[in-house]
Structures are given as C-alpha cells and as structure tokens.
Structure 1
C-alpha cells in the first residue's frame, strides 16, 4: 500500500499564525506607553515566523518519515527544528531592529527568541499529535485491508479445495476403476479421503511446513495418476532444509492443479512438472503446452496465492512466462509472522 503524506490545511496554518501574532502583541496593550507601530510590526513578524515554522516542521516531519517510516519520535528532529527556528527568529529580530531603531536590541532579542522557541514547540507538538493520529488511522486501514484480503483468500482457497469439478472427475475415475475391478480402487479411495482430511485440517491455518504440503501434493498426484496415467511427470528436487520451511497450505497443490488444468496432458506429450529451490525461493516450473482455447485464463488460483503471500510477507510472488516455460517463484518463509 502506498504511503500518503501528512498534510495540514493552509487555512489552519495561516489563521493560527495570525492569531499567534495578535496574541504576542496583547501584552503591549497593558503598557502605559502603547505604540501601535511596535504592536503591528511585532504581530507581523511573529505571524511570519509561525508560518515559516509550520512549513519547516512539515518538511522535517516528511523527510524523517521517508527515511524512517516506523520511527515516530525523534529528539534529533526536535533539535533540528529548534535550531532552524532560532536562526530564523534571530533574522526576524534583526529585521525588527532595522524597522524600530529605538528599541534596545539585546533584551528584545532574548524575549523574541524565547517566544520563538515556544511557538516552535507548539507547532512541533501539534504536528506530532497529528502524525500519531495519522499513523494510527493508516495502520488501522492497512490492518483492515489485510484482514479483508486474508478472508477473501481463505474463502477462495476453500472454494478451490472443495472443487466440484475435481471431485466429479475423481468419482468418475473411481467408478471406472470399480467397474473394471482394479485393485487400486481401494488405494484411490484412501488417498481421496486423505486429501480431503488434509483439506479439513489445514483450511484454517495460515502456514504449514513444506513437508506437510508435499504430503498433500503426493495424495493429489496419486489421484491424478489414476486419471492421466503416464500423461505427466512430477520431479521434486528440494533440499532437506526446505522441508522445515513454511508455506501457505495447498499452494503447491493448487499450482500443480493449474498446470494439469491448462496444459495438454497425454502419454504422447507428457507434461513435466518440476519443484526445486533456488536463491531463497521455491520454484515450480512446467513447459507451456496450452490446451486449445485456454489462452485467456482468469488466473484465479494465482491471484489467490498472491493474496495469501501478501498477507504473510513483504516478498512478492514472481511469475515468469517466456512462451516456452512457465515458472512461479514462491518466497521461502522460515517463521510464522503471527507468532
């Protein structure tokens, strides 16, 4: 999500600055020798200083936020704005001395500098409170968005896991095996029940180990072998360490199902599917041999996987399609971000 910048209405900046300028001249009304010129000059310079410091603080806040977006407080930021304020107020005090030459520069400058520090502190405090409120609202919106994305991904995942088309094909295959008296029918039923048991056990989990995911894949491949025979070849080249890493459940199974769904699978033209690790990513690849009329897939399964990874990690799912080979690269996760 793109981070928006903290903004303050120009009306608030100018009106508050003018009010501060007027208030700074109020004490002069109590003096016996009230001088209108002094009061006006003092109000104008104070208002100008307040306006400048509003924008200086906004710039410093924005600059620090881009450098350290997670760091909300900084004493260095406060000292920088104070230092800039002192220099600006000194210049304005010198300008006041040029306009009102009869005023003793020393005591007046000290009073103006103290006033400048107070105005700067007011601007800084208000902006800090605005920023905290801004950050809290932004985080709340992000959390709600992530929650909605996760719920949508879980719902889509459940719909794809309990796929009526997949169940229909599996039952048809089982029917044919039973009618032909094949001994593998019992094993097929066991694998099918095991696959749906995994569905029920893991559908509420964000992550499982790659070892557990491969058990789901093996049960799924067994069911597909009964349907496609030698029409596809699955090759797994994962290192031992990869099996302890984490992955959203049914990720590889969904990707393999996509491969079988969109590509030609036949004994004359077997589909080769490989899973391996490289550069800190799990990679699933297959040659592109699309079925006729399947060039405009909606990619619902891939979008589902993207959503779940976006919920779990900052790393992106990468997809490579060079018209010959299709590769999807999944970030390897070693720690559950929710614990």
Structure 2
C-alpha cells in the first residue's frame, strides 16, 4: 500500500531538520564526528518535532474558532514539555544548550504551519475539483439523456409510418416487420442506461434498423460493411450509427432503379465513416434539428473535441465519428 505525501512528509522533515541543524552547527564544523550521543540527540529531537507536527495538525483540523490562539497555547504547552524532556538527558542539561534546542523547536513551528496550510489548501482545491467534476458528470448525464430522448420518438414515428405503408399495401413481411421492430426496441431498452456502446454493439443495432427499412423496399437499399476487427471494442455514443443510417433514409429517396447505397467503414485514423450516395427526395422537409448537431453535442458532453465531422460532394455525403477509448 502506497503511503500518501501527507504521511511521508512529516517523517522526512522531522529527520531532516536535526541533520541540517547539526551540519551547520559549530560542533560539527569543529569536530566533523558523529558519535552515539549525537545520534541519540537526533532521535529525541526528531520524535519531539514529529509530535509537534501532529499537535499542529490536530489543532488546525479540529479548531473551528480562535484557531491561532489555540495554536499559540498548544505550542507553549509543547515547549514546556520539550524543556522538561530535554532535562532528562545529560547532553541537554547545560541550560543554554537546552534553551537553544527549545528555541529551535519553536522556530520549526513556522515552516510546519506554512507547510500544513499549503497541504490543507491543496486538499481543498482537489476536493473542489472532484466535486465540480462530479457535478459536471451528472449534468452531462442528464443532458445526454435529454438528447437521446429526442432520437427515440423520431425513430418510432418513422417506423410506424413505414409499417402503415406496408399494411396499406398488404406487404407479406408486415408481421415480420412488427416482430423485428419489437426486437429492435428490446435492444434499445437493453442499452438504455449506457451513454456509449462498443462498435460491435452499435453495428448490431444499425443492422437491425436497416432490416426494418429494407423490409419496405428490399432492392432499394444496399449496404457495405468494411470494419477492421481491431476497432470492434472501441466506443461510440449510444445509437449513433442507427441515427446516421436513419438520416440517410430521411434525406434521400430509394428505389430499385436508384438504390440508396450506404457504406460503413473504419479508417486508420480511428474514425468510423458512414457514407451514402445523394439522391434527394422531391419534397423538402424542414430538419428536426436532432441529427448531426445532436451527435456533435453528445461528443462535447463526453469531453471529446472534433468527435464528429462530415464532408459532402455532388454525389456523396459522409459522416465521420471518432471511436472512443474508455
């Protein structure tokens, strides 16, 4: 188990201060020797400094009012105790020497207080950042759910329209369409709590969706998948591929003579591309406003810049989605 900085730091300081004091003292400069009495003195002073650190720490963390007064009183009591402890050892019995070490212990209060204040401030900053991150995460989750809630009713509306057309024309696959629609929503409910899905899961949902769309005009839709298996376990915003596939049908006409061609493929730069030929519908419906902007916003909420981009030519429209590593 790793020790935290706040546990290691007082030990290091309490061992280091007596050493630095001895090295800079006349005793060391004149003799340069370290004997048993010197080591014992270091040990005693280190222990006293360690107790002083924890006394200051206790007062700083427990005192809510008159903190500085309590620090002064606590340090005064500590110095009285230190003076009497030093009196028990022969190498401290010289009165000037004893007071010298008491004075130096008092001086140690200043860096100890400053260091502990810095540590407390750092803890507060870390705690505030963590709380801020938790609030942002919860806010992102709520916003992501709000964005996703705009997708589901739109898809259901389109699916029911497709089913209406199939029933109206006595399409032989109407019953199978209903069963697959139920299965598709079963998958959607399964992933309801997820903000992201793996690419393999996204492809399954999209293929189920395309089956529903092809049921109305099987020769009017052609789809090609070129997926590198190395990307299968990377992530995408939930139902993003299904949303892009739905947009292909929303903005383009399809027929046996002029089929809708959808190519889905991964690229070496870590993106998945959904590309379709352009065959605009005769009617010009107003955009619902939930499509590409929805996806862009969901990437932003996940903290990913430039997660979605698109290109358009006279003959093709391509949307690129960044594959996410979690």
Aligned pair partner of 1:209 in 180, 192, 198? 198
Query: d(CA) in 2 for partners of 1:154 and 1:137?
Result: 26
1:70-109 correspondence to structure 2 within 5 Å: none
Aligned pair partner of 2:249 in 252, 260, 273? 260
Aligned pair partner of 2:179 in 177, 190, 211? 190
2:264·2:272 contact (CA, 8 Å) conserved in 1? yes
- Structure 1 position 257, deviation (Å): 0.4
Q: Does 1:150 align with 2:141?
A: yes
Spell out, residue by residue over 1:132-183, the C-alpha distance to the aligned partner (whole angstroms, 9 max, x if none).
5345434433432332222222233234224342242133034135xx3x44
Aligned pair partner of 2:273 in 283, 289, 300? 283
Aligned pair partner of 1:240 in 229, 245, 267? 229
Q: Does 1:304 align with 2:294?
A: yes
Structure 1: runs of 5+ lacking an equivalent: 1-114
Question: CA, structure 1 residues 194+119, in 2 after alignment: closer, same or farther (shift >3 Å)?
Answer: same
RMSD: 3.4
Query: d(CA) in 1 for partners of 2:318 and 2:297?
Result: 18
Q: In structure 1, what is the equivalent of residue 317 of structure 2?
A: 326
1:206·1:249 contact (CA, 8 Å) conserved in 2? yes
1:17-32 correspondence to structure 2 within 5 Å: none
Q: Does 1:314 align with 2:304?
A: yes
Which moves more between the two structures, 320-329 or 186-195? 320-329
Spell out, residue by residue over 1:204-253, the C-alpha distance to the aligned partner (whole angstroms, 9 max, x if none).
12333322222221221111112344333221111233333333331100
1:207·1:246 contact (CA, 8 Å) conserved in 2? yes
- Whose radius of gyration is greater, 1 or 2? 2
Number of residues paired by the alignment? 219
Question: CA, structure 1 residues 132+235, in 2 after alignment: closer, same or farther (shift >3 Å)?
Answer: same
Q: In structure 2, what is the equivalent of residue 171 of structure 1?
A: 163
Secondary structure at 2:258 match in 1:
coil
Secondary structure at 1:333 match in 2:
coil
Question: CA, structure 1 residues 124+231, in 2 after alignment: closer, same or farther (shift >3 Å)?
Answer: farther
TM-score w.r.t. the length of structure 1 is: 0.54
1:173·1:226 contact (CA, 8 Å) conserved in 2? no
Deviating beyond 6 angstroms after TM superposition, the runs of 4 or more aligned structure 1 residues are 117-125
Secondary structure at 2:295 match in 1:
helix
1:150·1:307 contact (CA, 8 Å) conserved in 2? no
Which moves more between the two structures, 239-248 or 193-202? 239-248
Query: d(CA) in 1 for partners of 2:216 and 2:225?
Result: 21
Question: CA, structure 1 residues 197+224, in 2 after alignment: closer, same or farther (shift >3 Å)?
Answer: same
Q: In structure 2, what is the equivalent of residue 86 of structure 1?
A: none
Which moves more between the two structures, 282-291 or 232-241? 282-291
- Structure 1 position 271, deviation (Å): 2.5
- Structure 1 position 274, deviation (Å): 1.1
Aligned pair partner of 1:223 in 193, 208, 212? 212
Question: CA, structure 1 residues 124+320, in 2 after alignment: closer, same or farther (shift >3 Å)?
Answer: farther
2:163·2:177 contact (CA, 8 Å) conserved in 1? no
Secondary structure at 2:309 match in 1:
strand
